[in-house]
Structure 1
Amino acid sequence: MSRTNKERTEATRAALIAAARTLFTDKGYADTATPDIVSAAGVTRGALYHHFEDKKALFRAVVEHEAAQVAETIEARSALAKSPREALLSGASAYFDAMEVPGRTRLILLDAPAVLGAECLGAIDRENADKSLHEGVRAQLSSSADRHQIQAISNLLSAAFDRAAIAIEAGGDRKIYEAAIVMLIDGARLQPPTTDG
């Protein structure tokens, strides 16, 4: 049975993203050429530019795909939790599991900020794992913090998760970083921020 145009289009796009991911991970963004991506994907150069404006747009698609997979892992694990605290801790553990996928830390945390810029990467984060984190922090703090405080704590925890993932990738002890994250989460729960001077 022949595939529909939509199926062929999706298959071509998926092949380009998969090939690009491998090359971006192995060689880095700067050293990956579009002819190499086309060759690895088994498609034409025209197919590449039909789906993506340029190499940067393809890189963004790779990062979006990786970020979505991280978010799915977090959401699946935290959905089983029985309390906001447990959901945050389960989500943290799931995040570290997801970031252990080879190449993912480099793509999302090291190369993406330089290639895409903070604003673009922030938008990707907000659509994925940061959304779950924000909801978890809001549930954890309940009525003890306003939306600005919740956003600030979410941002700080997100940065802590990312720094921990980079450190673990470089050989740091995951158990130590997970314990530190527990302390941060519990600190936010026990001592909600105030707006007093």
Structure 2
Amino acid sequence: MSKGKGIRAAQAKATRSLLVEAAHRLFAENGFHATATNEIVKAAGVTRGALQHYFPRKEDLFRAVFEQAGRGLVQTAAERVKNEGWEGFIADLKDFIGNVASLESQRIAFIDGPAVLGWSEWRRLQLSYGEQMVTEAIADGVAKGLISPQSSRALAHLILSMIEEASLMVLNADKLLVTTNEVEFAMLSLLTSLNRHRVV
């Protein structure tokens, strides 16, 4: 790659990053539908032409923001699973549920995500971020005798669905008349019982 092309590629990457970061802040604060593209352009300090070049539709920009947020949410947990296995996953999950209501990305991940992307695509992306990490945690749990031997992939999908539902319950706790502690206790009770009820 020539020096000129390398500089242009770096500038393009920087411009795209500015747009994604600005959109993340605004989508997290105001929501997708309440955020105008001219606000994003102004916050990013770029031209409207740059926005249209990298993200022809506002939905395209939201997808980029969603993907970045999704990877960020999983990154810490994946590192903990790598170091501590199943026990690390449980500890990180407890921390996550306890703090989900204060996450900057909560609106992006759990409220606007399904509405803007469509439920099927939202679900597919959620699985793509977390499935490998949860599968690795399950494999470690099985190896340590903490989980009954079974299909890691099937259990990973069910656990990820439970995490999504638990997160939504916490975010709607007042309407559902539950507390974060109750949701956390119920979820951890299910996960810690995986070796007590063997499927025959």
Please classify the TM superposition score into its range, dividing by the shorter chain length.
0.7 to 0.9
Distance 1:57-1:98 versus aligned 2 partners, 3 A rule: farther
Structure 1 stretches of 4+ with a deviation exceeding 6 A read none
C-alpha deviation, 1:18, in angstroms: 1.3
Contact 1:141 1:192 in 2 (8 A): no
> 1:71 — aligned with what?
74
CA–CA separation in structure 1 for the residues paired with 2:67 and 2:99: 14
Contact 2:81 2:136 in 1 (8 A): no
Q: Structure 1 stretch 109-118 or stretch 136-145: which is displaced more?
A: 136-145
C-alpha deviation, 1:111, in angstroms: 0.9
Match for 2:164: what amino acid? D
Contact 2:98 2:184 in 1 (8 A): no
Q: Structure 1 stretch 99-108 or stretch 42-51: which is displaced more?
A: 99-108
CA–CA separation in structure 2 for the residues paired with 1:95 and 1:130: 17
CA–CA separation in structure 2 for the residues paired with 1:165 and 1:33: 27
Q: What is the SS of the residue equivalent to 1:188? A: coil
CA–CA separation in structure 2 for the residues paired with 1:94 and 1:8: 38
Choose the corresponding residue for 1:186, options 164, 181, 192: 192
Match for 2:155: what amino acid? I
CA–CA separation in structure 2 for the residues paired with 1:127 and 1:62: 15
> 1:61 — aligned with what?
64
> 2:113 — aligned with what?
112
TM-score, length-scaled by structure 1: 0.81
Aligned counterparts, 1:101-180, within 5 A? 102-141=103-142, 144-145=149-150, 147=151, 150-170=152-172, 173-180=179-186
Gap runs ≥5 in structure 1: none
CA–CA separation in structure 2 for the residues paired with 1:33 and 1:124: 25
Contact 2:16 2:54 in 1 (8 A): yes
C-alpha deviation, 1:33, in angstroms: 1.7
CA–CA separation in structure 2 for the residues paired with 1:156 and 1:10: 37
Q: Deviations over 1:33-62 (max 9, x none)?
A: 211211111111111122123110100010
C-alpha deviation, 1:22, in angstroms: 1.8
Q: Percent identity?
A: 27
Distance 1:17-1:192 versus aligned 2 partners, 3 A rule: farther
Is structure 2 residue 49 aligned with structure 1 residue 43? no
CA–CA separation in structure 2 for the residues paired with 1:139 and 1:126: 19
Contact 1:67 1:108 in 2 (8 A): yes
Q: What is the SS of the residue equivalent to 1:190? A: coil
Contact 2:22 2:44 in 1 (8 A): yes
Q: Structure 1 stretch 124-133 or stretch 136-145: which is displaced more?
A: 136-145
Contact 1:125 1:131 in 2 (8 A): no
CA–CA separation in structure 1 for the residues paired with 2:96 and 2:103: 14
Contact 2:81 2:137 in 1 (8 A): no
RMSD: 2.5
> 2:89 — aligned with what?
88
